[in-house]
Amino acid sequence: MNELGQALCAQARAEGFDDVGLCRADAEMPHRQEVDDALSSGRFDVFPWLTDTKDQRLDVRARMASAQSVVVVVQSYWQGDHEDHVDVDTLAGHAKVSRYAWGQDYHHVLRRKLRRLRKWLIARVPGARVAPFNDVDAVTERAWAVACGLGFIGKSGMFISQTLGTYTFLGGLLTDVALVDERFAGTSDDVPRVRPGCGSCTACLDACPTQAIVAPQRVDPLRCLTTWNVEEPQDPRGDAFAGSGWAVGCDVCQEVCPWNKFAVVTREKRYRPRHVSIDPALPPDDVAGTPLARPGQENLAHLARRARRGT
Ligand code: B12
Ligand code: SF4
Ligand code: SF4
């Protein structure tokens, strides 16, 4: 990367991101063919917002034609081992909530930091185009995290950082500012790739409660609990996976991953648990500003009951 790229990375760390990398926007996106196959398979049609934007998800320059660089940031949300976790309480007992949903909504946290980073870059390159992305934007973030040399895709499908483990959020910037030298045009030779590090481990494939990891790195969204208890909480197809114990999201493929011995407790206080338990009978705005707003307070009682069924 060039000097400006190095300064931008330093600034991203100063913003509180735990890792950051960048690469040329014309570098080949890792797993491009696999992502294309997956999004064309029909299995992802449950998320029309994902399949309808396939072009951009396969090529960031379909999102910003003038893009020169992709910057990816990584932020740990690992809260450490403690009893202070979040549950959904019902009369029938507890149902679990995935760690990513324990604190405040990460979209708000990352977006604010990314907007500041955008301002920083524009102050140095007046007139620059700089577009932040985080989760809901049509950028295949895990692939670009790999392209930026920040880690590898585990058999669980999770992006794994060798220094942070799997409990991380991703986001970044797409910009027309050149942050990598021209001599690397069309390649990712500037960025050493991290070799996949699963070895012979199959813990996540074996432990997934719904056998959603159908092959290494291939997660079937129609079997993953998160599809049914976060994205589509009212879809009756989710009933097929009742009794998992998970009311919101699922952490099993991360809980068993040996790379999480490297997980570091997040510096972001806003990801620490705010509630010890959530009563689904509370007024709807109780979950405002947290990821629990995505499935919705009105669905929590149903999700918790379904998670408990059969247990
Ligand atoms: C749609 C979506 C989902 C869907 C579908 C998941 C899926 N595996 O596709 C559902 C709702 C099920 C989901 C679940 C979760 N998600 Co999600 N999700 C997304 C979203 C919005 C798009 C992902 C996407 O494009 N999927 C399509 C597939 C094809 O692409 P992919 O998942 O990136 O797959 C990569 C590899 O697996 C590989 N690949 C895919 N298929 C194949 C096949 C072969 C043969 C090979 C070799 C490679 C390969 O290619 C891709 C790029 O490297 C991203 C945000 C974003 N904009 O990227 C967040 C994101 C991936 N999710 C995230 C999180 C945290 C989760 C959960 C952990 C939440 C939870 N605790 O419940 C689970 C994890 C489930 C899992 N094991 O993957 C984080 C992941 C961070 C990380 N460290 O990896 C992201 C990046 C959001 C963010 N900004 O932080 N998610
Ligand atoms: S999040 Fe849960 S259901 Fe989804 S792939 Fe991982 S272990 Fe399986
Ligand atoms: S649990 Fe094992 S196989 Fe799965 S992602 Fe982690 S190291 Fe890889």
For every one of its 311 residues, what pLDDT tens digit does the chain have, with 9 covering 90 and above? 899 999 999 999 999 999 999 999 999 999 999 999 999 999 999 999 999 999 999 999 999 999 999 999 999 999 987 666 677 766 556 788 899 998 889 999 999 999 999 999 999 999 999 999 999 999 999 999 999 999 999 999 999 999 999 999 999 999 999 999 776 666 666 778 888 999 999 999 999 999 999 999 999 999 999 999 999 999 999 999 999 999 999 999 999 999 999 999 999 999 987 655 667 666 655 778 888 888 887 888 889 889 988 54
Atom of ligand 2 nearest to the CA of 204: 7
Question: Is the Cβ atom of 253 under 6 angstroms away from ligand 2?
Answer: yes
| CA–CA separation, 250 and 99 (whole Å) | 8
Please tell me the total count of domains within the chain.
1
Look up residue 65 and give its two tokens. 């034609």
b/e per residue 139-167 (b: at least 16 CB within 10 A): bbbbbbbbbbbbbbbbbbbbbbbeebbbb
**Exposure of 276 in the CB half-sphere (CA atoms within 13 A):** 3
Cα gap 15→221, rounded to integer Å: 33
Q: Which residues contact ligand 3 via a Cβ below 6 A?
A: 154-156, 198, 201-204, 256-259
Instruction: Find the catalytic residue in 37, 135, 181, 189.
Output: 135
Does the active-site annotation cover 135?
Answer: yes
pLDDT of res. 35: 98
Q: Please give the pLDDT value at position 287.
A: 79
* CA nearest to 178, candidates 250, 107, 128: 128
Residue 216 Cα: closest atom of ligand 3: 3
**Cα separation, 9 vs 82, whole angstroms:** 32
Q: 106, 167 in Cβ contact below 8 A?
A: no
Surface-to-core class of residue 109, CB atoms within 10 Å of its CB (0-12 exposed, 13-18 middle, 19+ buried):
buried
Task: Tell me how far the alpha carbon of residue 161 lies from the centroid of ligand 1, in angstroms.
Answer: 15
Write out residues with Cβ below 6 Å of ligand 1.
30-31, 34-35, 38, 47, 50, 57, 98, 100, 134-135, 139-143, 146, 153, 156-159, 166, 168-171, 217-219, 221, 224, 226-227, 231, 249-251, 253
pLDDT confidence of residue 311: 46
pTM of structure: 0.95
State the residue range of the domain holding 202: 3-308
Residue 276 corresponds to which tokens in the numbers above? 């010890």
Pocket test for ligand 3, best of 194, 195, 204 (most atoms within 8 A of CB): 204
Residue nearest to atom 74 of ligand 1 (CA): 158
